[in-house]
Amino acid sequence: MSTPTIKLNSGFEMPLVGFGLWKVNNDTCADQVYNAIKAGYRLFDGACDYGNEVEVGQGVARAIKDGLVKREDLFLVSKLWNSFHDKEQVEPIARKQLKDLGIDYFDLYIVHFPVALEYVAPEVRYPPGWTNAQDKVKLSNATIQETWTAMESLVEKKLARSIGVSNFSPQLLMDLLRYARIRPATLQIEHHPYLTQKSLVNYAQKEGIAVTAYSSFGPLSFIELEMQNAKDTPKLFEHSAITSIASKHNRSPAQVLLRWATQRNIAVIPKSNDPTRLAQNLQVTDFDLDQSELESISALNQNLRFNDPQNYGLDVTIF
Could you list the residues known to form a binding site, using ranges: 112
Adjacent-strand bridge partners of 114: none
Question: Among the residues of 77-143, which ranges form H helices?
Answer: 87-101
Indicate if 50 belongs to the active site.
yes
CB 191 within 8 A of CB 213: yes
The gap from C-alpha 143 to its chain's centroid, in whole angstroms, comes to 22
Contacts of residue 289, Cβ cutoff 8 Å, sequence gap at least 6: 245, 249, 256, 259, 260, 263, 297
Let me know: does 89 contact 119? Beta carbons within 8 Å: yes
CA distances for 305 relative to 19, 29, 190, 209, 308, angstroms: 21, 27, 7, 22, 7
Length of the chain measured in residues:
319
Q: How many CB atoms lie within 10 A of CB 104?
A: 10
Of these residues, 41, 50, 119, 194, which one is catalytic? 50
Task: Please report, for residues 71, 85, 138, 166, 261, the alpha-carbon distance to residue 117 in angstroms, rounded to integers and kept in the order given.
Answer: 33, 7, 6, 16, 32
Q: Binding site residues for substrate, as ranges? A: 112
Which residues lie below 8 Å from residue 68, measured CB to CB, with a gap of 6+?
A: 34, 37, 38
Q: Which residues are catalytic?
A: 50
